[in-house]
């Protein structure tokens, strides 16, 4: 027994009023189409067949190897779209599932249940239906006195009585493949000049064949996107779903309404997320952290017991017990080892701050490797760019960098080196040496007894 999945994605999505094809608009940071492709991948080991038309090249560029493609050159309706896949799929599988690419909240378990239902009988097809408070544009499910589904009537063709029907068509079907391929061409041309896939219901009913219709448990899954208003609704629904799952797994989220966490993020137990925090992309956060308020974290790896207040982190790695903010900015390649403290108004890019480094106030560290337990004084700057190229700054262990030091890269400071306040360091500093001034020059370190006198 095998299953092929067909996803219809050839429409332009006119109602989005956009140059971008509808299904490439992002939801939780990722193009809509990827949600349907992923849910299909969970059902069948055979890549889904994406019917593309408008923006076909852009869609291919986004989905890549994740799907097989069939082009529908002219958008003559959903029935016509499925017909385009017949040459590719006929004789390949026992069942064919069809749904639309604009339903990103569909869950694999829901589709799996539909597939199981169709496998349990030999009727022509099974479909899902949904009870909608606002049927906005959905086809209405017409049943007879016995409750058998007789037809799906598109909103634009419905009578006033049919418009009052609250059971609607989300557009998710699982077909007996042989029946589908044999009957697609029986679909008549509609008054609108399209071949409606939904007319297969009437075709089956007229032939005395029973179409199985199952009500969906969660109508949110059927949220289809036609306008940017729907896109915002889907964003809110997905946000609620992700936040709820995290809370149930042991994460405290103080204000879920102001917290956006993408589905691609993982967060450990007993971490607390404060309001207005946004955690995006491929971010992983450990246990027992305190994050926010007013924080953006994208594509970061964060260990356990970290504190991140009112900061922006992109492409950074934090080991355990790192404490940063408020108003810190970590950029790509920032790596803060265990126990690093970074206070307000600091920026770190493409640099390693080794264990126990302290960087309290107003500093920029770029293209640097800062040794263990080094203290970076207020206002320190790595001058890493000479106008043409970037250069590296390296310090040893336990270095003390005085306030307002300019480290003119490339430059290396040995273990235990020190710089005076306001130094402009243009030459390497040997271990245990103090440099001061502009440009900075060595000055003998006075023995502690001498200082005491």
Q: Provide the annotated active-site residues.
A: 361
- The minimum distance between CB 224 and Ca ion, in angstroms, equals 5
Tokens matching residue 47: 């890549």
Q: Which stretch in 162-170, 218-226, 398-406, 407-415 sits in contact with Ca ion by CB under 5 A? A: 218-226
Sole binder of ligand UD1 in the list 3, 5, 9, 63 (CB under 6 A) = 9
Tokens matching residue 318: 């934090």
Binding of Ca ion by 13 (CB under 5 A):
no
155 vs 270, beta carbon nearer Ca ion: 155
Q: Which stretch in 69-77, 200-208, 256-264, 372-380 sits in contact with ligand UD1 by CB under 6 A? A: 69-77
Chain positions 225 to 244 lying near Ca ion, rule: CB under 5 A, are 226
Q: Which stretch in 8-16, 316-324, 337-345, 367-375 sits in contact with ligand UD1 by CB under 6 A? A: 8-16
Nearest by Cα to 304 from 325, 324, 283, 318: 318
CA distances from 80 to 51, 71, 145, 150, 363 (A): 10, 11, 31, 21, 62
C-alpha to C-alpha distance for 168 and 138, rounded to whole angstroms: 6
Whether the Cβ atoms of residue 304 and residue 321 lie closer than 8 Å to each other: yes
C-alpha to C-alpha distance for 313 and 324, rounded to whole angstroms: 10
Q: Which stretch in 99-107, 209-217, 387-395, 430-438 sits in contact with ligand UD1 by CB under 6 A? A: 99-107
C-alpha to C-alpha distance for 213 and 174, rounded to whole angstroms: 10
Nearest by Cα to 419 from 448, 367, 380: 380
- The minimum distance between CB 145 and Ca ion, in angstroms, equals 30
Q: Which stretch in 131-139, 244-252, 307-315, 422-430 sits in contact with ligand UD1 by CB under 6 A? A: 131-139
Chain positions 11 to 40 lying near ligand UD1, rule: CB under 6 A, are 11
Q: Which stretch in 133-141, 201-209, 295-303, 392-400 sits in contact with ligand UD1 by CB under 6 A? A: 133-141
C-alpha to C-alpha distance for 23 and 37, rounded to whole angstroms: 11
- Choose the contact partner of 195 out of ligand UD1, Ca ion, none; CB within 5 to 8 A by kind: none
DSSP 55: B
- The minimum distance between CB 219 and ligand UD1, in angstroms, equals 12
Give exposure, 68-85, as e/b (b: 16+ Cβ within 10 Å). Answer: ebbebeebbbbbbbbbbb
Sole binder of ligand UD1 in the list 124, 171, 292, 377 (CB under 6 A) = 171
- The minimum distance between CB 100 and Ca ion, in angstroms, equals 6
- Choose the contact partner of 170 out of ligand UD1, Ca ion, none; CB within 5 to 8 A by kind: ligand UD1
Helices (H) and strands (E) in the chain, counts: 10, 43
Pairing of strands 149-153, 139-143: antiparallel
3-state helix, strand, coil in the chain (%, to 5): 25, 30, 45
Residues in contact with ligand UD1, counted by CB under 6 A, come to a total of 29
Binding of ligand UD1 by 197 (CB under 6 A):
yes
Binding of ligand UD1 by 78 (CB under 6 A):
yes
C-alpha to C-alpha distance for 371 and 416, rounded to whole angstroms: 10
125 vs 196, beta carbon nearer ligand UD1: 196
CB neighbour class for 449 (10 Å; exposed up to 12, middle 13-18, buried from 19) = exposed
196 vs 400, beta carbon nearer ligand UD1: 196
Backbone angles phi, psi at 397, to 5 degrees: -80, 150
- The minimum distance between CB 86 and Ca ion, in angstroms, equals 23
- Choose the contact partner of 372 out of Ca ion, ligand UD1, none; CB within 5 to 8 A by kind: none
Half-sphere exposure of 176 (CA within 13 A, CB side): 18
- Choose the contact partner of 324 out of Ca ion, ligand UD1, none; CB within 5 to 8 A by kind: none
Binding of Ca ion by 224 (CB under 5 A):
yes
Tell the residue number behind the tokens 């064949």, with chain if given: 209
Tokens matching residue 123: 């009727």
Q: Would you give the binding string for ligand UD1 spanning residues 144-163, x where CB under 6 A is met? A: --------x-x---------
9 vs 285, beta carbon nearer Ca ion: 9
- Choose the contact partner of 8 out of Ca ion, ligand UD1, none; CB within 5 to 8 A by kind: ligand UD1
Question: Which residues sit at the interface with Ca ion, rule CB under 5 A?
Answer: 224, 226
Binding residues for ligand UD1, per CB under 6 A?
8-11, 51, 72, 75-78, 80-81, 100-102, 137-139, 152, 154, 168-171, 196-198, 224, 226
């Amino acid at each position: 027994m095998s299953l092929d999945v067909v996803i219809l994605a050839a429409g332009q999505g006119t109602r989005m009023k956009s140059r971008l094809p509808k299904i490439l608009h992002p939801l939780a940071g990722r193009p809509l189409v990827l949600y349907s492709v992923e849910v299909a991948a969970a059902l069948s080991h055979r890549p889904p067949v994406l019917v593309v038309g408008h923006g076909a090249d852009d869609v291919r560029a986004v989905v890549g190897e994740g799907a097989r493609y069939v082009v529908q050159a002219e958008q003559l309706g959903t029935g016509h779209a499925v017909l385009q896949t017949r040459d590719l799929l006929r004789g390949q599988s026992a069942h064919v599932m069809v749904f639309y690419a604009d339903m990103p909240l569909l869950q694999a378990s829901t589709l799996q249940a539909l597939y199981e239902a169709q496998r349990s009988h030999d009727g022509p097809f099974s479909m899902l239906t949904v009870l909608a408070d606002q049927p906005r544009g959905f086809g209405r499910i017409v049943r007879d006195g016995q409750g058998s589904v007789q037809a799906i009537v598109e909103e634009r063709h419905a009578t006033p009585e049919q418009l009052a029907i609250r059971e609607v068509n989300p557009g998710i079907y699982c077909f007996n493949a042989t029946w589908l391929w044999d009957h697609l061409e029986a679909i008549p041309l509609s008054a609108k000049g399209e071949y409606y896939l939904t007319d297969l219901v009437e075709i089956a009913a007229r032939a005395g064949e029973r179409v199985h219709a199952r009500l969906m448990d969660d109508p949110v899954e059927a949220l289809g996107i036609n306008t940017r208003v729907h896109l915002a609704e889907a964003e809110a629904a997905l946000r609620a779903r992700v936040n709820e799952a995290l809370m149930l797994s042991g994460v405290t989220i103080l204000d879920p309404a102001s917290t956006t966490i993408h589905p691609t993020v993982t967060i450990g137990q007993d971490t607390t997320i404060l309001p207005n925090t946004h955690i995006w992309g491929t971010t992983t956060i450990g246990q027992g952290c305190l994050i926010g308020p007013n924080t953006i974290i994208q594509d970061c790896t964060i260990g356990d017991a970290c504190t991140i207040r009112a900061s922006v982190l992109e492409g950074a790695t934090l080991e355990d017990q790192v404490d940063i903010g408020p108003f810190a900015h970590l950029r790509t390649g920032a790596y803060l080892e265990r126990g690093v403290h970074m206070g307000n108004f600091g920026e770190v890019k493409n640099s390693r701050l080794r264990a126990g480094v302290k960087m309290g106030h107003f500093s920029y560290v770029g293209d640097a490797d800062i040794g263990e337990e080094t203290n970076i004084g207020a206002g320190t700057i790595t001058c890493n760019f000479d106008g043409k190229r970037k250069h590296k700054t390296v310090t040893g262990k336990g270095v003390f960098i005085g306030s307002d030091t300019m480290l003119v890269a490339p430059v290396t400071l040995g273990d235990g080196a020190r710089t005076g306040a306001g130094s402009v360091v243009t030459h390497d500093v040997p271990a245990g040496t103090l440099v001061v001034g502009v440009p900075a020059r060595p000055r003998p370190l006075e023995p502690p007894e001498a200082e005491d006198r």
